[in-house]
Amino acid sequence: MSSRRSRSRQSGASRISDEQIVDLVSRLQQLIPEIRSRRSDKVSASKVLQETCNYIRSLHREVDDLSDRLSELLESTDSDSAQAAIIRSLLM
Amino acid sequence: MKARMQMSSSVVKQEFFKKWIKGMQIYSAFNKEMTIMERKRAIKLSADVAIASTRSATTQWSRAVVADVSTSAAGAARAAAEEILGRKLPERKALATTCSKKIVRRSHQRRSKAAARGVVRSSAAIAKKLVRNRTRVLKRLVPGGKKLDEISLIKETLDYIACLQVQVDVMRHLAAAAESLDHQQISF
């Protein structure tokens, strides 16, 4: 850290990007249901990143599960029912 | 960094929904009788390309999703993607997988110098290492994240999560609607 301070030009740049990172991390925190209600000064950057990763993984899983569900729903609809025709014309 | 498109959530949802349906219709035009697995793939790929296309290549993650589809998709999948994007996809190119494998191997071989010396780290150093490790995981989860610096990565993540939320929301609503239609008896 002290070596960075002695290089004045670089220390200016790293100070700006530290603020930027703090701002971006708090914006991330707002997006994540698990931690958005906590005070931003109480949640560490590493915690926000960890919860971000968990949240993205759970969203990926949901997309996959919903794709599963939808593929079954379209398969199981009775071929001659009115609602099957509606769903099919809308989707497939 | 390009300005992020500020669109209202409902506008994005509508655009996503329309493009998603278009993609699925192309799939069924190619193949009237699909297995459940094929149908699932059709639903998922159409959804992924549709949500990426709402960003019209202004973000790294959406470009990475389209690039991935360009290299791996063929037949119905390719046609559906092209319909959603409104353009032809570039020729299929092999990914530079050998290059990335080398990088992974190198980082696994790198041993912590402090661990080798048996040094106990300060809490600040530990926090820094945690952030670095978690950033590495995040890079793998966000499409196109690997080549980004930390600030760009977080900006991309903000946009990516917002779009994933839209995708999940619309898919959830459609599944619920299809389910309730399934359970009801509509009489004419």
Domain that holds residue B79: 2-89+122-187
Say yes or no: ipTM exceeds 0.85.
no
Under 8 Å between Cβ of B47 and B20: yes
Q: Is B113 a member of any domain? A: no
∠ CA B94-B20-B31, nearest 5°, is: 70
Min distance A6 CA to chain B CA atoms (Å):
20
- The pLDDT value recorded for residue B122 is 86
Q: Is B167 a member of any domain? A: yes
Closest Cα in chain A to B143 = A56
Under 8 Å between Cβ of B14 and A37: no
* Count of pairs with CB atoms under 8 A, one residue in A, one in B: 122
Q: How many folded domains does chain B comprise?
A: 1
A52 at the B interface (CB within 8 A)?
yes
Q: Is B116 a member of any domain? A: no
CA distance B81 to B41: 12
Query: Using one digit for the tens of pLDDT, what is the confidence trace for A8-58?
Result: 555 565 666 788 888 999 999 999 998 988 887 889 999 999 999 999 999
3 state DSSP class of A7: coil
Q: Is B16 a member of any domain? A: yes
H-only helix segments in A32-91:
45-76, 82-91
Q: Is B42 a member of any domain? A: yes
H-only helix segments in chain B:
9-30, 36-53, 60-72, 76-85, 97-109, 113-117, 123-141, 150-183
Q: Give the pLDDT of chain B (188 residues) as one tens digit per residue.
A: 444 445 678 899 999 999 999 999 898 888 878 889 999 999 999 999 999 999 988 999 999 999 999 999 989 999 999 999 999 988 776 555 544 555 555 555 556 666 677 777 788 888 888 899 999 999 999 999 999 999 999 999 999 999 999 999 999 999 988 888 777 655 44
Q: Is B107 a member of any domain? A: no
Q: Is B137 a member of any domain? A: yes
